[in-house]
Structure 1
Amino acid sequence: MALFSVAILVKVFVIQHVQGDYWRGMADSLHTRYVALDADRGTIYSEEGRMLSTSIPYFDIRIDFAADGLRDKNGKVFKDNVDSLSIRLARLLGDRTAGEYKQLLREGYKSKDRYFLLKRDVPFEQYQQIRNFPMFRLGKNKGGMIAETKNKRINPFKLLANRTIGLARENAQNVGLERTYNDYLKGVTGKRLMRRIAGGTFVPVEGYDIEPENGRDIITTIDVNMQDIVETALMNMMVDNEAEHGTCILMEVKTGKVKAVANLGRQPDGNYWEDMNYALQVGEPGSTFKLATVIAVLEDKYATMNDLVDMENGRWQVGRRTVFDSEPHKGPQNVSIKHAFELSSNVGMAKLAYQYYYKKPNAFVAHLKKLKLDQNTGIDLVGEGRPVIKNTASKTWSATTLPWMAFGYEVLISPLQTCMLYNAVANNGKMMKPYLVNSIMEFGQVVKQVEPAVVMDSICSKSTLTQVQRMLEGVMISGTGKRLATPYYTIAGKTGTALVANGSRGYADKIYQSSFAGYFPANDPQYTCVVVIKNKSRAKKFYGASVAGPVFREVADKLYAIAVEKQKPMQSSVQIDTLLALKNGKSSEWKEILSTLQLPWQGTVANSGWVSAKVNDRKVAFQTIAQAKGAVPNVTGMGLKDALYLLENAGLRVEVRGAGKVKTQSIPGGSKIGNDQTIVIELS
């Protein structure tokens, strides 16, 4: 028995002191766990600083009925406040009567539930009121209120560029910019230690949180006013023609910035919504592709735009197939290549490709590849369709493939690729990469700047470029686009009408795709715009000039009117102002901001004095600003209020120009103050 007792004591000692950490860890693992603390997701802004996608807080309101304040003096605080609290909750939330709330609260108090759920998904405005209700206003320890924050993603402008901006979804794959820039927007997830209590409920353990790092903000190239113009113009035509789906892209010529992109699809109820990114989907482009054909012919110097081609009365036999023009052409049939292009003659373009490339079709294909039509544009969106440019090694290549490619069939490219090509012509041959994000910001400061990227310095020779520019302008003067011309500014562009196959039914349903690609003003191009609309079967109108063209014209008219009204170039730089712009200021005020917003920071923030603020290693960093007595204060980087306070107290008269924070001051900081001096501060 003595030996048995000693063995037990030895085992107890081993368990407690040798294996103690292991068994205590096992016990904790059964009663504690870490849960993820989501970081605040970054905001997506338009170029002029408007919110396009942001997170708003919602709160789950819980009560700790075992809180000391609720149990002291036989529950005096609870008993004194339960009636008034029930009445206030019933009035604000409206989901229960005051009597029902009183009964609910009594049941929670009786059970001593430490994590009692009162209400889920309370919006911020209601939360602000609830925290000041009777009992809750006493704080967590005395009043027992626990508020758990969670965020819901919203797009304030709703339909506007919805598919491009994208959605941040909890249980599904993100789309648009929300997906492409997810790593920047999502931040770094934190952790919270939770302890299991009676009833299997887990409650937070104070002091063991690993705080999340909030996501960064995205400043896009999207202009909200331009997006509204594009979206409205496209919507009007879609509704009027009961079209299936359509897209309209607006690109800044010199930079490749996508200023607006609308994607509308018809829903089962007949309304339209941004359901797919049609700008990135590939399909047969139709006649807008003829630009690539004439570039190839002119670049190889087989002909000039003034050489003749026979349009054959709009009908030309190739093997067992026939090339048709969309409508017969009146007058002479033996016309210049320029005029055949202006009239959008399929026969004319097919004959050019067949005549000059029949024996070496891959030479024609090489031109298409040089124009990057076989590659994705590389825009910062996931889901860009894969283009198809055939060559003689392709399985589906036939004797008629080459002439059909010449007028936009048997090739697959996206509307964005078409936009990229036309934009290069507008930009004097320089091809720019399209992009949607200007910069990534943290606490109002740029941490990554996106610059315009040149894909190709020149898509063709100067001679070829001059000729195709004149041909595109000619379309609007004496060609298929002449009804779209305006006396106020010049347009260069190309119409397109393509018959679209409908699955196994082929082309029998007469579904047409209408398109228009062009730029304006033609003499000083500022914007390139591409419109592609897929019409319903046997639509009342389907020609590119009748469906897509008016959308282009409406966009161009409104943008030109805005430019004339402002009396400045259509291209303008806009100052970005975000919600978290850092300014130099008073230490005590910065201390209050840090405490209220719970921002991560480093450096010294005393109760008095002045500090400069900047972002360093994802934290707000501070440095003391020395202000010598009798010297001009250094107010650069401060807001107007602080700058005026310091300068006027120093005896200076202040003249203010601009708005924002101080960019420059006419008298440098540290200079000796003279008598009756005036200082000019410029804000930006």
Structure 2
Amino acid sequence: MEVKKDILWRVYLCFIGMVLFGLVILAKVFILQNVDGNYWRSMADSLHTSYVSLDAERGTIYSEEGRMLSTSIPYFDVRIDFAADGLRDKNGQIFKENLDSLSDALSTLFGDRTAGEYKQLLREGYKSKDRYFLLKRNVPFNQFQQIRNFPMFRLGANKGGMIAETRNKRINPFKLLANRTIGLSRENAQNVGLERTYDSYLKGVTGKRLMRRIAGGTYVPVEGYDIEPENGRDVHTTIDVNMQDIVETALMNMMVENEAEHGACVLMEVKTGKIKAIANLGRQPDGSYWENMNYALQVGEPGSTFKLATVIAVLEDKYTTMNGMVDLNYGRWQVGRRTVYDSEPHHRTNVTIKQAFELSSNVGMAKLAYQYYSKQPNSFVAHLKRLQLDKRTSIDIEGEGQPVIKTTASKTWSATTLPWMAFGYEVLISPLQTCMLYNAVANNGKMMKPYLVNNIMEYGEVVKQFEPVTVMDSICSQSTLRQVKRMLEGVVLEGTAKKLYTPYYSFAGKTGTALVANGKRGYADKIYQSSFAGYFPANDPQYTCVVVIKNKPHAPRFYGASVAGPVFREVADKLYAIAIEKQQPLKTRVKIDSLLGLKNGKGTELKQILTTLKLPWEGDVTSTNWVSATVNEQQKVELDPVKQVKGAVPDVTGMGLKDALYLLENAGLRVEIRGAGKVTSQSIPGGTRIARDQKIVIELS
């Protein structure tokens, strides 16, 4: 009996242990499913899903008059989900019914395969149940619009299986014009130009897309988990396309004619410092020219255009006047073991400082600097620093070189440094710095900072405005300014640039011809840099222009007046001709025609258009609303909000095609377009609730 009890006790104990163990398992299962379930499910998903970046649409760079200088164009990679429920349903009925017609349409559109080849390709994809089958890469927008309406694809993502991935390609519509200044936006390399400087504004905010891994290591998008990117802002530059074309063409003609190595031309608006045009051309291995580097920002020995700084220093210290005398010593003067030569031989001796400047005498400038500053050379250097020649201009573009203005503390300072600095050697400055100095003289002594961007805009609204910046109210006294202006005008009337003279308008400037070294070969190759810096018209300066061209070795023509000067003259001639052809605007108020072709659209965009055209308007405009536009009895364009209800068909009557497509497609509708112009009717009235995969037809006229 005792044995039986002992056995039963052990059986009961085992049973109770098993029950308790089962209860623990059940409790653990309950906790895993209901308490910790979300955590473990997310852990499982993380092993099969991941987020990929969605690039925002990059902002557009515009010229001052509103033309696109750099913009993004969408391209599409078209793929097919052959495991989509609609395609596999009823033993692939939809796929089989549309295979022939889809193959014909693809062959007709792309022309790269026959209909039979496309048919075989699609069959292979369907057979493999590939969920991410690549059909075509880099499909442009117009072709993509057609593909969406092809057989099978027009049934929607679930039934038709089409997957579209958008990629943006950056283009410069004007190609060569200001190409290096506008810059390049590159995926696998550093941006340059304005694309680089204003990248933080242009690139927008990157979005995210959840992707799930499927068989074969392929990832497909998970619907409903996208974080939409925020589009970049637009940059409106100071560049004028017409002026840029004039500058680029003038420089190109001379570069080709003289087979020059590289050159730059900068056009600046006198009163503001706006860069209206900037051309940079370099010779390519095949002999052609391209904007391969921003030469206007590169530093080098400026040559005789630097003499302006020398005479400003001498006159400002009142050591002499422009009528003071200097001995040119027949164009040859020895300083220590070195000899200063004038670029053109002559038999002049005693001339006025004004005449020495007009003749571009190296000897004259070297003697002035040596005579007045040899005992205190840093006093001369101080003048150069006051003229901002030792600092970058801080223009709003990357890549500006660091100027070099020597002092007595410099390791390379010697007994001949001072006289050589006086005529533009042993100093390094950029063409843009030269332009800023000459522009200050043209602007009655006020030095302006050069800049390239007017404002940053987002959806038609200015988010950041750039105004002209005064670097210095006056670079010198009015007495000095009057004298240097007369000297610059004298260069054109009686000096080295007299061949450039025109009786139709006046201009002032200075030629420059500098011998430059060619690496280890030194000066043996006789490579000359030709330059011209000046402003026009001289009596009321509007623009400052600097031209710098580096010639080929042993070029037969290399003087500044015969190489760089003609480029300046061509630019000035054309801009002056444009100026005198302009008619005065009408002072009377223009009556708005009640039959004016107005379109409905986004409020901020219509507001910007009306403001630009200086047309009176009124109405309630916000950053997000859409409006209808009509002319009221008060001769104003009235903007009335158009109500758009979420989940309902948008009312696009009266809108242009771009706005209509934006609203309808974002609402989930498939759009068929008939006609051209603005929308006159839509097959589904505005406000109607949207059904799944619904199609709408819009008529335009």
Shorter-chain TM-score bucket reads 0.7 to 0.9
Q: Distance in 1 between matches of 2:74 and 2:486?
A: 56
TM-score (norm 2): 0.82
In structure 1, which of residues 18, 33, 42 is the aligned counterpart of residue 50 of structure 2?
33
Does residue 326 (structure 1) correspond to residue 343 (structure 2)? The answer is yes
The answer to whether the Cα contact below 8 Å between 1:584 and 1:637 also exists between their aligned partners in 2 is no
In structure 2, which of residues 487, 496, 500 is the aligned counterpart of residue 484 of structure 1?
500
Does residue 397 (structure 1) correspond to residue 413 (structure 2)? The answer is yes
Corresponding position of 1:417: 433
Superposition pairs of residues 495-510 of structure 1, within 5 angstroms? 495-510=511-526
In structure 2, which of residues 54, 72, 86 is the aligned counterpart of residue 69 of structure 1?
86
Does residue 123 (structure 1) correspond to residue 137 (structure 2)? The answer is no
Corresponding position of 1:679: none
In structure 2, give the amino acid aligned to 1:248: C
Q: Distance in 1 between matches of 2:93 and 2:218?
A: 26
In structure 2, which of residues 269, 272, 278 is the aligned counterpart of residue 252 of structure 1?
269
In structure 1, give the amino acid aligned to 2:172: N
Does residue 299 (structure 1) correspond to residue 316 (structure 2)? The answer is yes
Q: Distance in 2 between matches of 1:306 and 1:515?
A: 26
Say which one has the larger Rg.
Answer: 2
Q: Distance in 1 between matches of 2:639 and 2:542?
A: 34
The answer to whether the Cα contact below 8 Å between 2:602 and 2:627 also exists between their aligned partners in 1 is no
Corresponding position of 2:620: 612
Q: After TM superposition, give the deviation of residue 254 of structure 1 in Å.
A: 0.6
Does residue 270 (structure 1) correspond to residue 278 (structure 2)? The answer is no
Q: After TM superposition, give the deviation of residue 539 of structure 1 in Å.
A: 0.5
Q: Distance in 2 between matches of 1:611 and 1:67?
A: 48
Q: After TM superposition, give the deviation of residue 145 of structure 1 in Å.
A: 1.5
Q: Distance in 2 between matches of 1:23 and 1:475?
A: 84
1:137-167, CA deviations, whole angstroms, 9 ceiling, x for partnerless residues?
A: 2222222222111100000010110000000
Q: After TM superposition, give the deviation of residue 636 of structure 1 in Å.
A: 4.8
Q: After TM superposition, give the deviation of residue 484 of structure 1 in Å.
A: 0.6
**Does the C-alpha gap of structure 1 residues 527 and 632 become closer, same or farther in structure 2, counting only changes over 3 Å?**
closer
The answer to whether the Cα contact below 8 Å between 2:619 and 2:639 also exists between their aligned partners in 1 is no
Equivalent residue of 1:540, what SS? coil
Corresponding position of 1:100: 117
Corresponding position of 2:247: 230
Does residue 342 (structure 1) correspond to residue 351 (structure 2)? The answer is no
Corresponding position of 2:470: 454
Q: After TM superposition, give the deviation of residue 74 of structure 1 in Å.
A: 2.5
Superposition pairs of residues 377-392 of structure 1, within 5 angstroms? 377-392=393-408
The answer to whether the Cα contact below 8 Å between 1:188 and 1:212 also exists between their aligned partners in 2 is yes
TM-score (norm 1): 0.84
Superposition pairs of residues 429-448 of structure 1, within 5 angstroms? 429-448=445-464
Q: Percent identity?
A: 80
Corresponding position of 2:644: none
**Does the C-alpha gap of structure 1 residues 85 and 384 become closer, same or farther in structure 2, counting only changes over 3 Å?**
same
Corresponding position of 1:528: 544
Q: After TM superposition, give the deviation of residue 486 of structure 1 in Å.
A: 0.5
**Does the C-alpha gap of structure 1 residues 55 and 341 become closer, same or farther in structure 2, counting only changes over 3 Å?**
same
Does residue 192 (structure 1) correspond to residue 209 (structure 2)? The answer is yes
Corresponding position of 2:535: 519
Q: Distance in 1 between matches of 2:626 and 2:109?
A: 42
**Does the C-alpha gap of structure 1 residues 345 and 632 become closer, same or farther in structure 2, counting only changes over 3 Å?**
closer
In structure 2, which of residues 74, 95, 99 is the aligned counterpart of residue 82 of structure 1?
99
Corresponding position of 1:374: 390
Corresponding position of 2:184: 167
Equivalent residue of 1:118, what SS? strand
Q: Structure 1 segments of 4 or more deviating over 6 A? A: 583-586, 622-625, 630-634
Equivalent residue of 2:121, what SS? helix
Q: Distance in 1 between matches of 2:246 and 2:640?
A: 37
The answer to whether the Cα contact below 8 Å between 1:611 and 1:622 also exists between their aligned partners in 2 is no
**Does the C-alpha gap of structure 1 residues 631 and 278 become closer, same or farther in structure 2, counting only changes over 3 Å?**
closer
Q: Distance in 1 between matches of 2:433 and 2:295?
A: 12
Q: Distance in 2 between matches of 1:22 and 1:68?
A: 29
Q: Distance in 2 between matches of 1:436 and 1:308?
A: 43
Superposition pairs of residues 556-567 of structure 1, within 5 angstroms? 556-567=572-583
In structure 1, which of residues 261, 282, 286 is the aligned counterpart of residue 299 of structure 2?
282
The answer to whether the Cα contact below 8 Å between 1:585 and 1:612 also exists between their aligned partners in 2 is no
Q: Distance in 1 between matches of 2:442 and 2:640?
A: 43
Q: After TM superposition, give the deviation of residue 78 of structure 1 in Å.
A: 1.4
1:21-53, CA deviations, whole angstroms, 9 ceiling, x for partnerless residues?
A: 332222111111111111110000111111000
Q: Distance in 1 between matches of 2:251 and 2:281?
A: 8
Corresponding position of 2:333: 316
Q: Distance in 2 between matches of 1:198 and 1:470?
A: 82
Structure 2: runs of 5+ lacking an equivalent: 1-16, 586-596, 607-617, 642-653, 655-701
Q: After TM superposition, give the deviation of residue 68 of structure 1 in Å.
A: 3.1
In structure 2, give the amino acid aligned to 1:521: P
1:76-126, CA deviations, whole angstroms, 9 ceiling, x for partnerless residues?
A: 221111111101111211221111110111112222222221111001111
Q: Distance in 2 between matches of 1:316 and 1:568?
A: 56
Q: Distance in 2 between matches of 1:74 and 1:25?
A: 34
**Does the C-alpha gap of structure 1 residues 59 and 638 become closer, same or farther in structure 2, counting only changes over 3 Å?**
same
Structure 1: runs of 5+ lacking an equivalent: 570-582, 595-609, 640-644, 646-684
The answer to whether the Cα contact below 8 Å between 1:584 and 1:613 also exists between their aligned partners in 2 is no
In structure 2, give the amino acid aligned to 1:518: G
In structure 2, give the amino acid aligned to 1:252: E
Q: Distance in 2 between matches of 1:439 and 1:556?
A: 27
Q: Distance in 1 between matches of 2:627 and 2:422?
A: 65
Q: After TM superposition, give the deviation of residue 16 of structure 1 in Å.
A: 3.8
